[in-house]
Structure 1
Amino acid sequence: MQAGGPNEICLTYANGQFEPKEPTVPADAPLTIRVKNMEGKAIEFESETLKIEKVIAANSEAILNVRAMKSGRYEFYNDFNEKARGFVNVQ
């Protein structure tokens, strides 16, 4: 789900999964990622390739700012549940 424009995405974490799983954003522009945790326990949103690591409390949200990126596929996951994974597609 795009939110606020082409350089902002909104990810929702519920039922142990992120949605959308593979959002697409333009390359060579800074990115804002809004992560809404709908679960009753904290998550750790992490991406080694995006250089992000953020604990997000239960039933809350975080806004993360990411540097401009080259085209590619950047993985993210919940470090507390590594089966919950997705990718930011940068084109």
Structure 2
Amino acid sequence: MGFLKLRKNKKFSYTPRHFDDKGEGNPFEIKHKFDDYRKTVGDNKGLKTKINNALDDLKNNQDNAANRRIIIIICILILAFLFIIDFDLSIFFPKK
């Protein structure tokens, strides 16, 4: 009655190709190379902690030119969208 028995899975002794022989870390762990330098990655419990960590990361960021560039690009896109839909900007200014 061999058809009622389950087959056993084969076992192989697999070692990853680019794994360090010193045994540092888990070779099967997938993580971004900048995760060690950011506070926003990891066990963040709660919305308030996530927001505070993101704001601290933004304040301590050394690359302010990239942040300014992103803000400028977003402003230009918003103005282009408002121009395309023919939005009247005079509602924001007081009438004399």
Structure ID, larger Rg:
2
Specify which structure has the higher proportion of strand.
Answer: 1
Greater length-normalized contact order (CA 8 Å, ≥ 6 residues apart): 1
Shorter chain as denominator, the TM-score bin is under 0.3
TM-score by length of 2: 0.19
TM-score by length of 1: 0.19
